[in-house]
Amino acid sequence: MREEYDFSKGERGKFFKPGSKINLPLYLEAEVLDYFEAKAKAKGIELNVMVNDLLKKDIALIEGIK
């Protein structure tokens, strides 16, 4: 690595896009991942669809209790 870098020609915010969403990785424990992968495969759906549906149902339950 260089000791110093020249950013004098840099443009602030060049790659910033207001309102853009960042997809964050989600790390599951191996046994949880294996379980949901098997269930998703048995239902013929993708893992992310199954997990999103499950989380939406949990949110609805939590909101219903309030």
Residue 46 phi, psi (nearest 5): -75, 150
Q: What is the pLDDT of residues 13-49, one digit of tens each?
A: 999 999 998 888 999 999 999 999 999 999 999 999 9
For residue 4, the model assigns a pLDDT of: 94
22: amino acid identity, one letter: I
Q: Return the domain boundaries, the chain.
A: 30-65
Q: Is the pLDDT at 66 greater than 90, yes or no? A: no
Give 40: exposed, middle or buried? Use CB within 10 Å, 0-12, 13-18, 19+: middle
Give 36: exposed, middle or buried? Use CB within 10 Å, 0-12, 13-18, 19+: middle
For residue 48, the model assigns a pLDDT of: 94
Give, rounded to a whole angstrom, the gap between the first and last alpha carbons of the chain.
Answer: 54
